A and B are shown apart, each in its own frame.
Chain A
Amino acid sequence: MAEAKELKQLFVVQRPPYKSENPKLALTHALASQTAEIYLDDGETVLPTIAFVGDGVLNALNNQKSMDHYGISSNENHVQMTLLIDLRVLVCKEDLEARGIDAGRLADGSALGADMSIEVVPFSEIQKEMEAADQLLFF
């Protein structure tokens, strides 16, 4: 039997939503981890974690109405789907506070049936995740 090998990736999202495609691409790439195994050997998996820092924390807000106004799925919805597939989503506590945003304004994964919730953590925790990750991808 092949040895299980899990590659840990940390996606760090630094930009606010919609003007840039990058935050959405970070989330869609994370969601794609579910099917990466078709290109991998038996037992190999890819496990992304998403960390929102700086203006990137604005992607994780609730009540986004981009479908109503731009006709595109919201980054909130993608965050919820990311939680639904049991990927960790971290939001930098200091960056939320610096923007005057209460944690109650963050996307709620349970609305889609997710067991996971957004974790609001100090940057020091995100730094630890950077060190623990096998690979870092900044979006």
Chain B
Amino acid sequence: MATLTIGVFSSLVGSMSLDFAVKLAEAARKKGHDVNVWVSGNATMLSKKGQRSFKDYSSLNKTVESLLAEGAEFCACEACAEARGYKKDDTMENWQRHSMDWYLAKCAKSDKILHIGGE
């Protein structure tokens, strides 16, 4: 099996790109691949703990928690998160927070990457 790293910038609410990224990560894990997910820009809201689920909005935290428990790595851009007021204490359990160099290094260690740079 191989390693897939997904990078995504889009917000949890207002874009379906994060949904796409998490569903792709989930499908890759089910096929036995290792998965890393990097969230930067508005996508850092995915790392925020205490999200409440409404049927009118995307809710991914349960899927993310399952993926984390299975060994997938999720990391938020620390500067992007801090700029939005998401502190370390606001971050979901088992998430990592690093600088962008983490993402580039994970890409370097991956067999395939998908960078979702859209809005």
Contact = CB atoms under 8 A, between A and B. Distances in A.
A39 B113 contact: no
A46 interface: yes
Given A29-B100, A33-B101, A138 B117 contact: yes
B101 A39 contact: yes
Given A33-B101, A137-B113, A7 B107 contact: yes
Contacts of A21: 9, 41-42
A139 B105 contact: no
B76 to A, nearest CB: 13
A44 B108 contact: yes
Given A21-B42, A25-B41, A36 B104 contact: yes
Given A137-B7, A137-B115, A138-B117, A28 B105 contact: no
A26 B42 contact: no
Nearest to B110: A135
A32 B104 contact: yes
B9 A29 contact: no
Interface string A100-139: 0000000000000000000000000000000000011111
A138 B103 CA distance: 15
Contacts of A16: none
A22 B104 CA distance: 16
Chain A interface extent, by class = 20 to 34
Nearest to B115: A137
B107 A9 contact: yes
Contact of B101 (A25, A35, A44): A35
A98 interface: no
B99 A35 contact: yes
A136 B7 CA distance: 12
A27 B15 CA distance: 23
Interface of B: 7, 9, 40-42, 80, 99-109, 113, 115, 117-119
Q: 8 nearest interchain CB pairs? A: A39-B105, A32-B100, A137-B115, A139-B117, A36-B101, A36-B104, A35-B101, A32-B101
19 contacts: A21-B9, A22-B9, A22-B118, A26-B117, A28-B100, A29-B103, A32-B99, A32-B100, A36-B102, A36-B105, A37-B105, A46-B104, A46-B107, A46-B108, A135-B107, A135-B113, A137-B7, A137-B115, A138-B115
